[in-house]
Every structure is written in structure tokens, then in C-alpha cells.
């Protein structure tokens, strides 16, 4: 079974993040990334939020490291593991802005970018950034088409209902001929968007039965990634039976790869947990 890592420290959601993460250093994060790289995890993640309304910090969490800076740093400390945004909010950026910034990340990481994207849901953050909230789904579709036209070329051209560009040069750009794009969301619309315009789907906030049902409603193309999160932290040392059962449940629900959150008492313990979890995943077909 293929597994990736929902990176600790960089996002700290109450009830999910471990206590040690509150005081963790950037070197702790680098050590964990290097361990995941060495053990054969598929990817590391980092999410995007510019600012969280203070009234929602107790539920959403207040800690969200910037994904571009974070993944650029981790690119220099790893050699193989992919670097996945989980997710960028499309409405906060022009497609060429993403193509330049994350195309540069793809270049400095030697082609390890996975671009996870979503339409966003936090009204206050849209308003703060001056980004239109209405019709954000349609805007996201247009942005995805624009991104596909722009990510891997020096002279991108695209003409859509919300975004249009030509006669522009973008250097550097992504070195991958086709950067994998995964669409986040929790609705049938997000799955349809992913199947039409991307290479994978990263649902959140859904149970295994809901995910399994949604996947039966749409024909999933060959090679399409279904990236399912583990939900509550897995504890392969303290509760190996529970961790294994959760992996099996997600596999049965349709996961092609699982983004794992891991329980730990410290960065050192986290690395030990990663080795146990990867060994466990390797026994599941």
C-alpha cells in the first residue's frame, strides 16, 4: 500500500496535532521529512491559509505555514519524496502566479511537485484578500484549465471566461511535462472537477462509506489518484491493530494512496512511528 505524510508542525488542527508540535523547530520538521524520504513515503504536504478568523482558530487551528516557503525548504533537505500542496486555494491566485511560483519549486526540487488545489470555503479570507467568493467553482475550473496550459511551458496561452493570457514569458517553469494536479473537496462536484481537469482527488471531512459511494457515481479513469486522509492520527506502536485496520478501511473505500497523520510524543518518536507505519503499509496489498 502506498502512503504519504500529512506533515506535522506545519498545520496544527486542535484534536489532531500532538502537543510536541507546538514547540517543534524547523530542524524537527526537516528531520521528519528526511525520515519519510528515506523510508519510502510518497509525499509530504503543506496547506494554505493566509489568515484565520480568530473566532475559528479553536476549531480550524491557527498554525498554517506558507506552503511555498515550507516546501522549498524541504526540497533542499530531501531527495526523492514528492512535495504536495494540500491545498492551494485557486481563487487567491492568478494561474500564472501559481505557474511561476510552483514551477520554480518544481525546478528546484528536480520535478517533485504535486499541485493540490481547492476552491476554498473561508469567506472572511476571500474578503481579506479581495478575492471574489461568488462563482468560485466556475472560476476554479477556469483556473485549472489555465494552469494546465501554463505550468510546463515558457510561452503559455489561454483564453477562458475569467482568465486570459498570451504573449507572456514564464521562466522558470515546471520541469515536469505534466505536473500532477489533485483536487480537494468533499462533494460530488469536487470529484467531477478532479476527473475532468486533474489527475487525482483529495477528499476531506468525509467518512469511508461516503467516499466509497461517491466513487461509484462517476467513472474513474485509469491511473487516477484517490488520495484519502487517515483522519485521526495513526499510532502503529501503541495501537498497531487500529492503525492497520484504518489503512485497510481506506484501501477498501478506494484509496490509491493514503495521506497519513501520525501520533507521536516528540520528533524522535515521530520518526520511529514512520518506520513502523511504512513497514505495516508494505504488508498490505
Tell me how far CA of residue 121 lies from CA of 16, 91, 112, 118, in angstroms.
20, 10, 28, 9
| Residues 185, 65 share a domain | no
| Residues 45, 16 share a domain | yes
| Residues 193, 65 share a domain | no
Residues 33-55: tens digit of each pLDDT:
999 999 999 999 999 999 999 99
| Residues 197, 102 share a domain | no
Domain that holds residue 219: 180-228
Mean pLDDT of all residues belonging to the chain: 97
Number of independent structural domains in the chain: 2
Residues 158-202: tens digit of each pLDDT:
999 999 999 999 999 999 999 999 999 999 999 999 999 999 999
Decide if 170 contacts 99 (C-beta within 8 A). Answer: yes
- Nearest CA to 236 out of 219, 217, 261, 255 is that of 261
Give the span between the Cα atoms of 107 and 105, in whole angstroms: 5
| Residues 77, 17 share a domain | yes
Decide if 174 contacts 199 (C-beta within 8 A). Answer: no
Q: Is pLDDT above 90 for 249?
A: yes
| Residues 211, 73 share a domain | no
Residues 58-92: tens digit of each pLDDT:
999 999 999 999 999 999 999 999 999 999 999 99
| Residues 236, 141 share a domain | yes
| Residues 253, 199 share a domain | no
How would residue 129 be classed by pLDDT, with cut points 50, 70 and 90? very high
Q: What is the pLDDT of residue 285?
A: 81
Give the span between the Cα atoms of 97 and 143, in whole angstroms: 11
| Residues 90, 210 share a domain | no
How would residue 232 be classed by pLDDT, with cut points 50, 70 and 90? very high
| Residues 224, 255 share a domain | no
Q: H helices within 87-135, ranges in order?
A: 95-108, 123-129
| Residues 159, 108 share a domain | yes
Q: What is the pLDDT of residue 30?
A: 98
| Residues 257, 212 share a domain | no
Amino acid at each position: 500500500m502506498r502512503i504519504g505524510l500529512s506533515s506535522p508542525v506545519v498545520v496544527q488542527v486542535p484534536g489532531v496535532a500532538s502537543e510536541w508540535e507546538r514547540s517543534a523547530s524547523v530542524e524537527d520538521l526537516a528531520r521528519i521529512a528526511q525520515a519519510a524520504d528515506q523510508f519510502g513515503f510518497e509525499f509530504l504536504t503543506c496547506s494554505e491559509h493566509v489568515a484565520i478568523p480568530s473566532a475559528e482558530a479553536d476549531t480550524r487551528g491557527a498554525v498554517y505555514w506558507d506552503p511555498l516557503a515550507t516546501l522549498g525548504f524541504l526540497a533542499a533537505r530531501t531527495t526523492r519524496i514528492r512535495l504536495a500542496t494540500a491545498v492551494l486555494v485557486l481563487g487567491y491566485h492568478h494561474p500564472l502566479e501559481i505557474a511561476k511560483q510552483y514551477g520554480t519549486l518544481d525546478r528546484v526540487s528536480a520535478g517533485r511537485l504535486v499541485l493540490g488545489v481547492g476552491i476554498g470555503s473561508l469567506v472572511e479570507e476571500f474578503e481579506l484578500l479581495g478575492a471574489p467568493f461568488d462563482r468560485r467553482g466556475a472560476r476554479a475550473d477556469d483556473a485549472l484549465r489555465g494552469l494546465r496550459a501554463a505550468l510546463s511551458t515558457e510561452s503559455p496561452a489561454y483564453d477562458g471566461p475569467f482568465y486570459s493570457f498570451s504573449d507572456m514569458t514564464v521562466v522558470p517553469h515546471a520541469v515536469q511535462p505534466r505536473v500532477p494536479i489533485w483536487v480537494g473537496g468533499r462533494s460530488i462536484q469536487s470529484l467531477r472537477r478532479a476527473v475532468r481537469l486533474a489527475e487525482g482527488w483529495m477528499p476531506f471531512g468525509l467518512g469511508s462509506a461516503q467516499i466509497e459511494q461517491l466513487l461509484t457515481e462517476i467513472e474513474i479513469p485509469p491511473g487516477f489518484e484517490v488520495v484519502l486522509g487517515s483522519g485521526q492520527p495513526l499510532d502503529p506502536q501503541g495501537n498497531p491493530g487500529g492503525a492497520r485496520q484504518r489503512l485497510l478501511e481506506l484501501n477498501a473505500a478506494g484509496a490509491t494512496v493514503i495521506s497519513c497523520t501520525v501520533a507521536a510524543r516528540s520528533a524522535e518518536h515521530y520518526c520511529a512511528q514512520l518506520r513502523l507505519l511504512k513497514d505495516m503499509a508494505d504488508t498490505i496489498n
